[in-house]
Structure 1
């Protein structure tokens, strides 16, 4: 299980155009077949992700903002798949110009949709903001198929007016879907574009979806694999890639050897918790338990162990001396050394810990003295602790940092929000760490390259989900300590997939963080096959 999950290169729009030209070589039939695959994959993704908003109505109202190019064709094919099982659907196609001027494949997709049995199919050409019926209807899903990766700024009429109109219809639109890229987003910085909830990249991810400056327009990016990596066309070398989440999950789906035992799957120790934040320790260890290590040991302040043991009896507990507020004493350092000499393969440290001067001194000692792979989260992510990594033995295992943007800001000593990817990469190279930056897009930096992915979405925007991820990374590293990067990528993909499943079941607002842990085994039950 040691090979890295597959990644896709993040290509500029110019590079993606060159790739598609080399792939299709002007073959109209191959383009049409690819468009059919794209539309079908888009429909399946929208069918799934709409459930984060609501159950599908029997009579959905779908709106397609259609330009002349192939993105409109992808959207029309997707709508056809969605309405085939919903004959009471209402479909409106709002064309930017005369639909008879659209490209041939768009005309084909339009014709196929026109032959579907639906309650209503309306085609309107944009003229003014009053192009649609009055009062304006509400739409469950809106597809942006206006412009594609061939776009160059500025936005011209009527696209600028259509996008402005769409972006001011929050009360009328349920789910906003961008096909490949939001209209108005390209290689150049986008001062304005279609504001999507989900952007589905077709075949290969385009670099603008990862650019944080486009986050307002892109929403949640998702890659729809159309088999382009297997097409035999050479791809350019790039330093930034997009994780194939399905491949990462597929690597976790295997039967264990019949003669294995608990020590086959490693032992992870978690140093966490305080009287104020006992739940952080529980969530971290709960995440670790669910990913399958043979043993999980909790090193916690002595006043917590008996209560925590009732909640997680599978964990072996090692209570250590602490001050009344939970600040760890030197006994925690001795406990870490004991675990390091007793089959432990990884230590996770930080969730819920007190971060006063005394505790930080002992945390810093553990970082410097313990040679096992370490996962540092929450209270262990301070400018006082991280430099200790440079004092570790040259043969020590990797140190993995898991900050959210606020913690990264503290580590980099930045005053302004946001981050510079090159600065983060330089920080990793200078401190010899791997950094998992959590956020709308999760990015994994190792000082040489960056791998990005987006999964889980806003349902993970609640306290404790990062503690779960830290435990998961530690539990998977313990099983494969010689390949920490692969373990990290699998953990990030698994964590996000559980978030996606949780949101489609309960929506984005209502779940509890601990329910995320319960969804971890469920997302591995579906057999995942390569495209």
Structure 2
């Protein structure tokens, strides 16, 4: 069965909202599906829906509204907390709607000693658990803790929304978790539900579709950006990434553009290692750049000792922009690759990947179609479905992440595939690929390679779209860099 993580589901939810499928619509679909499953399984009875203050509670409120329209069911609702403490607007709106429905009783319980809680649990035939959502850690607070205990002791049929409420304390190896007879999860099976610590509490598991847009899962969107690990309020210099750019020789602008894009994406420190003939020019682009001068007019083997020290002092290496394709450059690149832990390879550095005797642990490559054809020694397909398979296969065989640039970017780690549709034809101007490499390097410092590459493609294209709105076909790569922070603030 195809499965995703809870984090991926949150990304999909946010991407759906960006496309226009609002959270309240998904909540309606989830609650409606819960109601239908109950109606299909039971001929009648007294149903108690116990809801928390998050979106799991919202799903329960919707289910209650649908169920109470069927006279064979007597529906009661308990909110653990009060209406003012409901955390999302969607859940609050659905709770307030219940007063206009044929609900038998609606109670707000804030005290674990409230007799209403135990009395209503005792009187129920079926209990629906909508108390807690995902990501619960630490000790369960009251009144949720008492509710979980009372539900487990009730002997009633228990249906859990998304997952049984509670957690397993890894330190004490103790758990406080509802033991469900049926767990209803949405869209796809969640990988976390298959873990041994959870599986004993699930009972039967049903996966219900809720009308998620396929585009929201396949294409990058704002949800992917929200999942990024970025600078925290208490971070200090270096924690958001030290990035080494190795480029220049044949050209000076390319590594400077990559470096500036890296800084705008949030990296703390960016160092450019460039041949002596272009180092001063690169330094003149911005006082924010640290430039280390290499030995000659092209990257060469004599630079390896200095580059080794620089690699050790940085978290990520971004290499290839403006190097030129001399034979010695390619050979030197192939010797640098094994020195790196995290690496972004672009443009002139890509041939060095084939020559390298050993590869580092985390590699992202950012070729366009012609460069991809060159390193594969096969033409890159125009057809998007075939192109997807080409990227997936190459990434799997070489144990890396490929970000194939195009009208639709294709990103794969050899297993998962993401697409990106941001960007425009104005970005065919020189330098935008260098900007993309820089963004990727900054994100790779604090994120897994697949996430870094997919989000970099989105940010680069979205920044290009904002720049195009201002400049039209006169946009420059520097205009794209200036819009990166606007996209990141989304």
* Band of TM-score, shorter chain: 0.5 to 0.7
From 298, 301, 304, the counterpart of 1:327: 298
Q: Which residue of 1 aligns with 2:318?
A: 348
Q: How far is 1:414 from its partner?
A: 2.0
Partner of 1:521, secondary structure, is helix
Q: Which residue of 1 aligns with 2:247?
A: 272
Q: How far is 1:24 from its partner?
A: 11
Q: How far is 1:438 from its partner?
A: 0.6
Q: Is the 8 A contact 2:308 2:339 kept in 1?
A: yes
Q: Is the 8 A contact 2:251 2:278 kept in 1?
A: no
Q: Is the 8 A contact 1:409 1:417 kept in 2?
A: no
| Structure 2 residue 21 is matched with structure 1 residue 6 | no
From 490, 493, 497, the counterpart of 2:458: 493
| Structure 2 residue 226 is matched with structure 1 residue 250 | yes
- Aligned counterparts of 1:351 and 1:403: Cα–Cα separation in 2: 11
The alignment's TM-score, normalised by the length of structure 1, stands at 0.51
- Aligned counterparts of 1:267 and 1:334: Cα–Cα separation in 2: 19
Q: How far is 1:264 from its partner?
A: 1.5
Give CA deviations for 1:252-304 in whole Å, capped at 9, x if unaligned: 6977323x221121200000112x41111111111111111111010000121
Give CA deviations for 1:56-101 in whole Å, capped at 9, x if unaligned: xxxxxxxxxxxxxxxxxxxxxxxxxxxxxxxxxxxxxxxxxxxxxx
Distance 1:331 1:513, change over 3 A: same
- Aligned counterparts of 1:265 and 1:454: Cα–Cα separation in 2: 27
Distance 1:390 1:234, change over 3 A: farther
Q: Which has the higher helix share?
A: 2
| Structure 2 residue 272 is matched with structure 1 residue 298 | yes
From 247, 254, 257, the counterpart of 1:283: 257
Higher RCO (CA 8 Å, separation ≥ 6 residues): 1
Aligned length, in residue pairs: 298
- Aligned counterparts of 1:311 and 1:352: Cα–Cα separation in 2: 15
Q: How far is 1:235 from its partner?
A: 8.0
From 333, 337, 343, the counterpart of 2:308: 337
Task: Please list every run of 5 or more consecutive structure 2 residues that lacks an aligned counterpart in the other structure.
Answer: 1-5, 16-25, 34-186, 188-206
Partner of 1:496, secondary structure, is helix
Q: Is the 8 A contact 1:277 1:352 kept in 2?
A: yes
From 413, 419, 422, the counterpart of 2:377: 413
Q: CA RMSD in A?
A: 3.5
1:395-414 counterparts in 2 under 5 A?
396-414=360-378
Distance 1:7 1:401, change over 3 A: farther
Q: Which residue of 2 aligns with 1:461?
A: 428
- Aligned counterparts of 1:416 and 1:492: Cα–Cα separation in 2: 19
Q: How far is 1:471 from its partner?
A: 0.7
Q: How far is 1:315 from its partner?
A: 1.4
From 362, 365, 376, the counterpart of 2:345: 376
Q: How far is 1:316 from its partner?
A: 1.3
Q: How far is 1:345 from its partner?
A: 0.6
1:95-174 counterparts in 2 under 5 A?
none
Task: Please list every run of 5 or more consecutive structure 1 residues that lacks an aligned counterpart in the other structure.
Answer: 11-19, 28-203, 205-230
The alignment's TM-score, normalised by the length of structure 2, stands at 0.55
Q: Which residue of 1 aligns with 2:192?
A: none
Give CA deviations for 1:495-526 in whole Å, capped at 9, x if unaligned: 1111111112222x11112111011112334x
Give CA deviations for 1:413-463 in whole Å, capped at 9, x if unaligned: 124753633233221111111100111101101111211110012121211
Partner of 1:297, secondary structure, is strand
Partner of 1:459, secondary structure, is helix
